[in-house]
Amino acid sequence: MGKYQNILLDLDGTILDSGPGIKKSVQYALDHFSLYHQPEEKLRRFIGPALTDSFMRVYGFSTEQAEEALSYYREFYPTNGIFDASLYPGMEECIKTLAEHGKKVILLTAKPIFFAAQITKHFRISDYFFWKSERS
């Protein structure tokens, strides 16, 4: 199983295809700025980087506008976007196997830990991860 004991895995784009929920939540925020029906390629650029940075980089928002857009995003995401995602094929088995072989599987994400915990629980993979706050 290899010599490494600590395995770091990113949530969005590695374990989970969270694109659909993120893109819908970003579009919801953009609607408040009258930027309706944005192209897929622009919305896709929000998956991964910090959202405020993406609002500034992709749409030229000021810091204040980006913070306002983030508040709209956060208004929509917890009830409409958070679980609009899917595990990549084979990821559950991979994470389970690593954990069963004594590896410390550590989740990396830019998401607030509250959301990450909900997501991993929803997709039934939370028990495979080392959660420092719970085990320290």
pTM across the whole model: 0.84
- Judged against a pLDDT cut of 80, whether residue 4 lies above it is answered with yes
pLDDT in tens, 73-83: 999 999 999 99
pLDDT in tens, 49-62: 899 999 999 999 99
Residues assigned a catalytic role: 10
pLDDT band at 132 (very low <50, low <70, confident <90, very high): low
- Judged against a pLDDT cut of 50, whether residue 96 lies above it is answered with yes
- Cα–Cα distance between 93 and 84 in angstroms, integer? 21
Please give the pLDDT value at position 136. Answer: 37
- Judged against a pLDDT cut of 60, whether residue 123 lies above it is answered with yes
- Judged against a pLDDT cut of 80, whether residue 20 lies above it is answered with yes
6-10/16-17 β-pairing: unpaired
- Judged against a pLDDT cut of 60, whether residue 93 lies above it is answered with yes
- SS3 of residue 103 by DSSP: coil
The residues with which 106 forms a beta bridge, in sequence order, are 8
6-10/104-108 β-pairing: parallel
90-121: string of b/e by CB count within 10 Å (b at 16+)?
A: ebeebbeebbeeebebebebebeeebbbbbbe
DSSP state of 126: G
